């Protein structure tokens, strides 16, 4: 798709709404579903990567210094990373904060 | 030379699918359709038809297998009836939404309960809104001709939609009728090879039937609606071309002795032939009556219906299905709706009859016409009447 979904008219769609661009699901902002978000405290983080392993969205990666961060474009705020973090380096806060 | 043979209509439908040189048949047997897929299985097993025959455990799977085959670029055929069509229900929407031209013969059958294997249009009406092109045939010849046309229409790059050919269970499917089969070479010329524009292929990956969030779903449905409406033009062209090639002509709405008639009877499917006999009799008695036959059910031929009935004062519609708690039969309801905005329109009188294989004889059609005329003059406190029911 050349345009974002919200810009497409019915005439822009492929026959049968077939998706012809492999991997374009990555354009879908699942972060829009979130009501809470994780805050990563790098002073407590031991860089073990357990949050990265458990994240069901696969949206946690390492920054330049090796600390883990969630990509909020995709993070749905499920809180699994905070529950699993051994060092208690992740807290979940409501979106409005 | 084309051959004229006496053949059971179910077998003739299977022979038509063979003439169309189908690649894949996936089906589950159900009365009164069984002979169609049984004969196709024979043709494949005997090596007379080079196709994949996929036996499955249910109609839901049959239609699902057909989707996969069609999406891979195969010419695909199946047949079902009644409960089988209902079991396919959710997959029918997927075929039309993904624009996969699966061709299906439906030997129309009543729905349970109580269990009835006999014919009516309850099954058709339950799948009315599934987005398929749907047409009715009256006799064996029409069934064969329209199975051939269905492949050409459905697979046309401007259409790419699945097509149902409705033939009345038993009343038509099990009759032995004279049928002219066109030559293979003529059929090969009439139906071009199927080329799906984006078939499933590892070298060109596509995703079919992916999810659509609220931001795009409405657009997909508008595209589908426009596409189905536009298919009518291609259907007309196909029937025109068929007529020029095979000298048998079809149209969305067909009229019999209706031009000057004050009272019109509207029917679908094989009962139309019986109704025509009644019309002849009533004409000899000096009554100004005619017959209108609705062939194309989806896309609905609004203009053709309006044209066909505009000079009549009474239009009697016979439905072979009941919309429980509703305004009567679905066909009557739609015809009435199509005429509502017209300045010149007949009074529409609805009858439901022929349910679960109950016959309507020529005398029965005379009764319906006479009762319809009576209601049009005296009025009725009912939305519709069920013909022939014992009170």
DSSP for B168-233? ETTTTTT-EEEEEEPPHHHHHHHSPPP--SS---TTS--B-S----HHHHHHHHHHHHHHHHHHHH
Q: Answer whether A5 sits within 8 Å of B99, measured CB to CB.
A: no
What does the radius of gyration of chain B's CA atoms come to, in whole angstroms? 21
Range of the domain at B84: 4-246
Q: How far apart are CA B238 and CA B241, in angstroms?
A: 5
Q: Are residues B56 and B172 in the same domain?
A: yes
Average pLDDT estimate for B151-168: 98
How far does the CA of residue A57 sit from the closest CA of chain B (Å)?
Answer: 17
Q: Are residues B240 and B265 in the same domain?
A: no
% of residues, chain A, pLDDT over 70:
98
Q: Answer whether B206 sits within 8 Å of A20, measured CB to CB.
A: yes
Q: What is the pLDDT of residue B44?
A: 98
Provide the β-strand partners of residue B219: none
Q: How far apart are CA B315 and CA B333, in angstroms?
A: 12
Cα nearest neighbour of A16 on chain B? B98
Nearest CB among B205, B215, B223 relative to A13 is that of B223
Mean pLDDT of chain B: 97
Domains held by chain B: number: 2
Q: Are residues B242 and B264 in the same domain?
A: no
Q: Answer whether B207 sits within 8 Å of A8, measured CB to CB.
A: no
Q: Answer whether B213 sits within 8 Å of A13, measured CB to CB.
A: no
How far does the CA of residue A23 sit from the closest CA of chain B (Å)?
Answer: 10
Can you tell me whether residue B56 is helix, strand or coil? coil
Q: Cα A56–A61–A63 angle (5° rounding)?
A: 160
Q: Are residues B265 and B325 in the same domain?
A: yes
Q: How far apart are CA B312 and CA A93, in angstroms?
A: 72
**CB–CB contacts below 8 A, A to B:** 52
Residues 6 or more apart from A97 whose CB is under 8 A from it?
Answer: none
How far does the CA of residue B70 sit from the closest CA of chain A (Å)?
Answer: 13
Q: B198, B222, B246 — which closes off a domain?
A: B246
Name the residue with tokens 């049959």. Answer: B62
pLDDT in tens, B329-361: 999 999 999 999 999 999 999 999 999 999 999
Nearest CB among A10, A13, A15 relative to B197 is that of A15
The domain A38-97 is placed in CATH, from the list 2.60.40.10, 3.30.413.10, 3.30.70.20, 3.40.50.1170, at 3.30.70.20
Cα nearest neighbour of B228 on chain A? A16
Q: B226, B246, B266 — which closes off a domain?
A: B246
Q: Answer whether A14 sits within 8 Å of B100, measured CB to CB.
A: no
Q: Are residues B221 and B95 in the same domain?
A: yes
pLDDT in tens, B204-251: 999 999 889 899 999 999 999 999 999 999 999 999 999 999 999 999
How far does the CA of residue B206 sit from the closest CA of chain A (Å)?
Answer: 5
Q: What is the pLDDT of residue A1?
A: 47
B305 and B317 Cβ atoms separated by less than 8 Å: no
Q: Are residues B235 and B265 in the same domain?
A: no
pLDDT in tens, B303-330: 999 999 999 999 999 999 999 999 889 9
DSSP state of B267: E
DSSP assignment of B129-164 equals TSS-EEEE--SHHHHHHHHHHHHHHHHSTTT---EE
Average pLDDT estimate for A33-43: 96
**Does the pLDDT of residue A34 top 90, yes or no?**
yes
Q: Where are the domains of chain A?
A: 38-97
Provide the β-strand partners of residue B164: B104, B134
pLDDT in tens, B261-302: 999 999 999 999 999 999 999 999 999 999 999 999 999 999
Q: Considering only residues 171 to 200 of chain B, which have any Cβ-Cβ distance to chain A shorter than 8 Å?
A: 197-198
A18 and B101 Cβ atoms separated by less than 8 Å: no
Cα nearest neighbour of A5 on chain B? B216
Q: How far apart are CA B293 and CA B282, in angstroms?
A: 17
Chain A interface, best mutation among B159, B198, B228, by max A CB count within 10 A: B198
In this structure, the strands spanning B24-27 and B52-55 are parallel
Query: Which tokens in the block code for residue B114?
Result: 């109580």
Q: Are residues B168 and B289 in the same domain?
A: no
DSSP assignment of A50-83 equals HHHHH-TT--EEE-TTS-EEE-TTT-----HHHH
% of residues, chain B, pLDDT over 90:
98
**Does the pLDDT of residue B92 top 80, yes or no?**
yes
Residues 6 or more apart from B100 whose CB is under 8 A from it?
Answer: A16, B66, B67, B70, B71, B76, B160, B162, B196
Q: Are residues B218 and B272 in the same domain?
A: no
Q: Answer whether B97 sits within 8 Å of A17, measured CB to CB.
A: yes
How far does the CA of residue A5 sit from the closest CA of chain B (Å)?
Answer: 6
Q: Are residues B219 and B276 in the same domain?
A: no
Considering the domain boundaries, does residue B155 fall inside one?
yes
Q: Are residues B224 and B260 in the same domain?
A: no
Considering the domain boundaries, does residue B391 fall inside one?
no
């Amino acid at each position: 798709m050349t345009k974002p979904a919200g810009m497409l008219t019915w005439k822009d769609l492929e026959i049968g709404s077939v998706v012809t661009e492999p991997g374009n699901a990555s354009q879908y902002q699942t972060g829009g579903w979130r009501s809470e978000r994780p805050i990563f405290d790098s002073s407590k983080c031991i860089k073990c990567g357990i949050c990265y392993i458990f994240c069901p969205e696969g949206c946690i990666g390492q920054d330049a210094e090796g600390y883990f961060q969630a990509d909020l474009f995709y993070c749905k705020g499920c809180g699994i990373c905070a529950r699993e973090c051994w060092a208690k380096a992740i807290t979940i806060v409501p979106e409005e904060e | 030379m084309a051959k004229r043979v006496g053949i059971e209509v179910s077998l003739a439908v299977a022979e038509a699918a063979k003439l169309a040189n189908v690649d894949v048949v996936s089906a589950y047997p159900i009365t009164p359709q069984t002979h169609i897929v049984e004969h196709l299985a024979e043709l494949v097993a005997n090596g007379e038809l080079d196709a994949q025959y996929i036996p499955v455990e249910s109609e839901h799977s049959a239609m699902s297998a057909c989707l996969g085959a069609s999406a891979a670029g195969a010419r695909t055929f199946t047949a079902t009836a009644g409960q089988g069509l209902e079991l396919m229900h959710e997959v029918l929407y997927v075929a039309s939404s993904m624009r996969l031209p699966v061709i299906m013969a439906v030997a129309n059958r009543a729905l349970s309960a109580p269990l009835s294997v006999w014919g009516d249009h309850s099954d058709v009406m339950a799948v009315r809104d599934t987005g398929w092109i749907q047409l009715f045939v009256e006799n064996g010849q029409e069934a064969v001709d329209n199975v051939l046309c269905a492949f050409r229409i459905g697979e046309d790059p401007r259409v790419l939609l699945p097509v149902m050919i409705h033939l009345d269970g038993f009343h038509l499917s099990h009759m032995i009728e004279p049928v002219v089969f066109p030559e293979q070479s003529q059929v090969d010329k009439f139906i071009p090879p199927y080329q799906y524009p984006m078939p499933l292929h590892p070298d060109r990956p596509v995703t079919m039937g992916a999810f659509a969030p609220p931001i795009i779903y409405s657009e997909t449905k508008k595209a589908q609606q426009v596409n189905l409406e536009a298919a009518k033009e291609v259907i007309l062209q196909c029937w025109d071309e068929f007529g020029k090639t095979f000298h048998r002509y079809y149209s969305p709405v067909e009229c019999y002795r209706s031009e000057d008639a004050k009272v019109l009877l509207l029917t679908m499917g094989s009962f139309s032939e019986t109704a025509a006999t009644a019309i002849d009799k009533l004409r000899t008695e000096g009554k100004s009556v005619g017959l209108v036959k609705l062939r194309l059910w989806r896309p609905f031929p609004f203009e053709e219906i309006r044209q066909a009935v505009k000079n009549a004062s009474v239009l009697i519609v016979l439905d072979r299905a009941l919309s429980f708690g509703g305004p009567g039969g679905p066909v009557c309801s739609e015809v009435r709706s199509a005429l509502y905005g017209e300045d010149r329109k007949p009074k529409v009188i609805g009858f439901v009859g022929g349910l679960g294989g109950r016959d309507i004889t020529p005398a029965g059609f005379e009764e319906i016409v006479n009762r319809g005329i009576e209601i049009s003059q005296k009025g009725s406190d009912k939305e519709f009447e069920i013909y022939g029911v014992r009170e």
